[in-house]
Amino acid sequence: MTTVQSEATLPRLTMSQWLIAIIAAIGFAFDSYVLLMLPLIVRPALIELLHVAPGSPAINDWAGLIFYVPAVTGGIFGLLGGYFTDLFGRRRVLVWSILLYAFSALASGFSTSVQWLLFWRCCTFVGVCVEFVAAVAWLSELFPNPKRREAIVGYTQTVGSIGGIMVTGAYYLVVTYGEHLPLVRGGHEAWRYTLMSGVIPAIPLIVIRPFLPESPIWEQKKRAGTLKRPSFAELFQPQFRTTTIVTTVMMAAAYAAAFGAIQQTPRIVPGLAEVRTLPRPAQEQIVSAVQSFQEFGGLAGRILLAYLAVHIVSRRRVLRIFQVPGLVLVPIVFAVAATSSLSLLQWGIFLYGVATIGQFSFWGNYLPRVYPTYLRGTGESFAANVGGRMIGTCAALLTTQLANVMPGASAPTKLAYASALVGTAAYVLGLLTSFWLPEPKREELPD
């Protein structure tokens, strides 16, 4: 029988463990940073690149594509990235994935057409999708003690929401002071500066890279020749089939709740009575402020999840603490608050952020506990990329298309109603599927 050491008797973290935790945290932060800049910049970017008026249907059509196509692309390559993580090692794949999304984010700021913006966003999404799987597998295998592992994986993921807060702050600053920055493509457009700032995580990574060790569990098995070759087909063998199907469906529901509702908020805000008559810079400042409420809510949700993951044994119970309130909040926030009051929307989106974003940290803690070492990256990648990125994110396309036929006096109101409908459906699906979610058999990671 395995004896689990208490946190009080554990040795202090080594320098290598600190470096890995720091790099993983930076990766999580800029995963959110580069992804969550899209809801902020998509409206002004499309107005400029398409040369159309703010209320043009072309913006709605292209917004759906720019949300969905990069997510599908990221899901496909992210799935391969999870396989490569098991085949070539956690460190190597993680480092290259961060460099990919950092430099593609920089390039996207120089886009001359909507097609180039779409291409570079696809590259960025590929890097983010691969990075998440590699970082979670790396962190989980670094800390054999279950309580410490749950805490480290949980709290490093909270930095993801700090990345969201950072990008809203960055967008606010460039909207306010962008005219003092160097010209990009002959102008001072805030959306270009925001995209280019995604290169930042490459800087500390290049400095720290030589000091990063490989996952000790993976490396030991690799050297001993006992590491089995990963296989997607094995995910559907009897011992893993239920876990694979249920986690894939539930991650699809979680991503649908985010992409189909919460990420549409920046395009809903300009339609509120308090906002619609303001000049464009003032509107974008308010959009950034509302986005910050969502990100602070997400941060609170991730911190709450990290705490609950250590103190509550049942994984289903932990997840439902977020699912049930979220289901109640969706129609209230988007069908009522988003169409009537800026202040109500701010606080509503904060609470919705707690419920929705907190669930993303749940999967980072749960998935490593249900797959063995040789299949860990592949299993995590299948749920996150096939379920989350390839299926779940189609909710963004569904919402933008539904918005064209929903009732409402304005485009933002129609978008709010569509978000309420899609978000509610996503939460219902996630909650129902949770009844089949397998509980991990033990606290230690499977060999």
Half-sphere exposure of 246 (CA within 13 A, CB side): 18
Contacts of 16 (CB under 8 A, 6+ apart): 211, 212, 213
Phi, psi of 178 (to 5 degrees): -60, -30
- Residue 310 Ramachandran class (φ > 0 left, ψ -120 to 50 alpha, else beta): alpha
Q: Give DSSP secondary structure letters for 337-393.
A: GGGT-HHHHHHHHHHHHHHHHHHHHHHHHHGGGTS-HHHHHHHHHIIIIIIIIIIIT
- In DSSP terms, which residues pair with 184 in a beta bridge? 187
Phi, psi of 99 (to 5 degrees): -65, -40
The ranges assigned to domains in the chain are 15-436
Asked if the 15-436 domain carries CATH number 1.10.3720.10, the reply is: no
Task: State the pTM of this model.
Answer: 0.76
Q: Give DSSP secondary structure letters for 419-447.
A: HHHHHHHHHHHHHHHGGGPPPPS-SSPP-
The one-digit pLDDT tens for each residue of the chain (447 residues) are 444 455 556 677 777 778 878 877 887 787 778 877 888 888 889 999 998 887 788 888 888 888 888 888 888 887 777 778 777 777 778 788 888 888 888 899 999 999 999 999 999 888 888 877 777 777 777 777 777 777 787 788 788 778 878 888 888 888 888 888 888 888 889 889 989 988 887 777 667 766 677 777 777 877 877 767 767 788 898 888 999 999 999 999 999 999 899 989 988 999 998 998 898 888 888 988 898 898 899 889 988 988 888 788 788 999 999 999 999 999 999 999 999 999 999 999 999 999 998 898 888 778 888 888 778 878 888 888 889 888 998 898 899 889 988 998 888 999 999 999 999 999 999 999 999 999 987 776 666
What's the CA gap between 306 and 361, in Å, rounded? 8
Task: Output DSSP code: residue 189.
Answer: -
Q: Which parts of 312-341 fold into alpha helices (H)?
A: 315-331
CA dihedral 322, 327, 330, 332 (to 10 degrees): -110
